[in-house]
Amino acid sequence: MRRSGKDLEESHKKLTRRGLMLGGAQAAFVAVLALRMRQLQMRDAEKYRMLAEENRINLQLISPARGRILDRFGTVLADNEPTYQITITRERAGDMSLVLKRLQFILPITDEKVADILAQAEKTSAFVPITVAERVSWENLSRVALNTPNLPGVTPETILRRSYPFGPDFAHVIGYVGRVSEADLTEAGDRASLLTMPGFKIGKLSIERAYEPELRGVEGTLAVEVNATGRVMRTLERTDPLQGGDLNLTLDHHLQNFALARLGDQSAAAVVMDVRNGDILASVSAPSFDPNLFVGGILSRDYAGLRDSEYRPLADKTVQGAYPPGSTVKMSLALAALEGGFATADDTVSCPGFVTISGRKFHCWKRGGHGRVNLQGALRESCDVFFYEMAQRVGIDGLNAMNARLGLGIKPDLPLSGISAGLNPSRAWKQEKQKADWLIGDTINASIGQGFVLASPMQLAVMVARIASGRSVVPRLVRPTINTDDTVPDSLGLSPAALALVQQGMFDVVNSDKGTAKASRIVTQGQLMAGKTGSSQVFSISAAERASGVRSQAELAWNRRDHAWFTAFAPFDAPEIAVSVLVEHGGGGSTAAAPIARDLVLFYLNKGLPSTDAYPPDQRGRIGTDLDRLSAVILPPDSRDARGHV
């Protein structure tokens, strides 16, 4: 069918419009293409030239600064110091063996170290940097930086390294940081990215480990553009890391420093605690070690020396050690007897030097006996026979209950490693552990802190703090974020009369002419202390040794001698601190431990080394010499804080 002229005209108009639209679209496309080509050739030429050289964007983690650890006055005990390190990244290095060989011409890297790095690279993701050298000098860092074009994958960088300015003073309490282990990575799980950073360290012991999440901080990120050789061309974006929070401890760095110096080269421990709120002012285990040795990885020979020493410097004897407490536990039995109505202040017991119970003879430490003594006198002279009698009246159930009330057998809730709960034995415990019934002889042994009873210096400090205050004092090492210093611990519920009698007995131990620690008395009024001696038997002198002439502790080998204890509180009229001192294999508590406790009390009360006037006149010459020796090795007195505290 022929189309009319009008239809042909309309069709022509439509074709013309479509042609114009299509032509316009083509023209626009060509224009955009031309504009884009111009943009690529001129404005973005440098950008795509870099991409043509195989540039890429790397996202790097930025390590946060670790939170500091401070003492109660703000003195820094654990800090961060800038240091330099060299790292290598396998995916950017190419032939790592060749790069490390070149690096050996610049840095003193042994072949063994190179082998270790290559072995580590096989177990590490290709994009994760590996530490080649730590604590690099500025000169060596500069030499590496100048040669980076010939050292692909090698990066010189500045990092923060953990440091402990007081060295051994706080080693056991604060602990140390160390390299991340496979176990650490597994434990971290999805949060392990920061731990894979070269040279990153995490807490390994005590407070550093217990407060790892708070101290670690939050990593930052850095997006950088690098070329094919790994050279950073520019920074694209940076998110700053968040530093870990600072931690304030209850410790007094001057008292801690003095306590370690006072313990000297003995295998010993000392705890000083505020009886009003439980603040631990000093917690020292001797000998100690330098935690700075562990930060970068301790040498095998140095670790072997610490590990193999019979004085066990790596162990924190204040909480990890569990020892028979000896006669220091007699205060607990005295309170159990008074509270249970089994004894009064006037009751006396005759001590001929021994007592026979169930056909077995139990001796008093004083072979000739103490004669007739009451409770106060028995504490003063540490009469074993008196407490044998009290043990039979009270029984193990009553003694066990009072021991627990005073903190024995209870694991202290502290951020320290390897804490021992000690042992407060009971009938049920013996039945469960030894499948045997409790015997009267077990009770007699427990009454003088022997047999199954075990306690740590920290637990005995808690016991004395509770006796001194009459309250359920709980030890603490970290100062609360909210001021709770005025919070008074709950009452123990013990009668004031019973507490006063035991406190007076402890006062007589030090200040009476018949007291077992009279040689360690303080003569300055207002600073008098009350205490209790104790000796815990390690080995008894055998018949063969007696036959060969061995008669005293001093004649035994060091590791066969008794442990020496002394616990105290001061000032007597208004107690502020409790002190617990243990000297391993020190022999008698009165001779080995009590003098140390006295010096700790005086140092605390005098805010530094005391005058010799605080000591009995006949001791001042010798004490003056000792104080001069100590003044040469402890922190100087001018390092007090602004408030005058030491």
49 vs 224: CA distance, rounded Å: 17
Enter the DSSP assignment of 492.
-
Give 312-324 as a 3 state SS string: CCCCCCCCCCCEC
Residue 58: φ, ψ to 5°: -105, 135
Specify whether the backbone of 339 is left (phi greater than 0), alpha (psi in -120 to 50) or beta. Answer: alpha
Q: Phi then psi for 238, rounded to 5 degrees?
A: -135, 130
Contact between 209 and 417 under an 8 Å Cβ cutoff? The reply is: yes
448 phi/psi in degrees, rounded to 5: -115, 25
Helix, coil or strand: residue 146: helix
Residue 84: which of 186, 11, 156, 182 has the closest Cα?
A: 156
Q: Which amino acid is at 609?
A: L
Q: How far apart are CA 518 and CA 338, in angstroms?
A: 26
Amino acid at the residue 606: N
At residue 526, the 3 state secondary structure works out as: coil
Q: Where are the alpha helices (DSSP H) in 492-637?
A: 496-511, 543-547, 589-592, 594-606, 620-631
- Among positive and negative, which fits the CA dihedral 143, 149, 152, 158? positive
Burial zone of 123 (CB within 10 Å; 0-12 exposed, 13-18 middle, 19+ buried) = exposed
Write the DSSP assignment of 214-245 as a string of letters. HHH-B-EEEEEEE-TT--EEEEEEEE--BPPP
Distance, in Å, from the CA atom of 516 to the CA atom of 588, rounded to the nearest integer, reads: 10
Report DSSP state, residue 125: -
Q: Write down the H helix ranges in 309-413.
A: 330-339, 375-381, 384-405
List phi, psi (to 5°) of 4. Answer: -75, 165
**Is there a contact between 173 and 418 (Cβ–Cβ < 8 Å)?**
no
Buried b (16+ CB within 10 A) or exposed e, 295-332: bbebeeeeeeebeeeebbbbbbbbbbbbbbbbbbbbbb
CA gap 392, 387 in Å, rounded:
9
Asked if 594 and 521 count as a contact pair (C-beta separation under 8 A), the reply is no
User: What burial class does residue 290 get, using C-beta atoms within 10 Å of its C-beta: 0-12 exposed, 13-18 middle, 19+ buried?
Assistant: middle
H or E segment at 47?
helix 45-52
Catalytic residue among 267, 327, 456, 520: 327
Strand, helix or coil for residue 16: helix
Catalytic annotation on 327? yes
Task: Please calculate the CA angle 246-249-252 and round it to the nearest 5 degrees.
Answer: 130
- Judged by DSSP in three states, 381 sits in helix
**Known catalytic residues?**
327
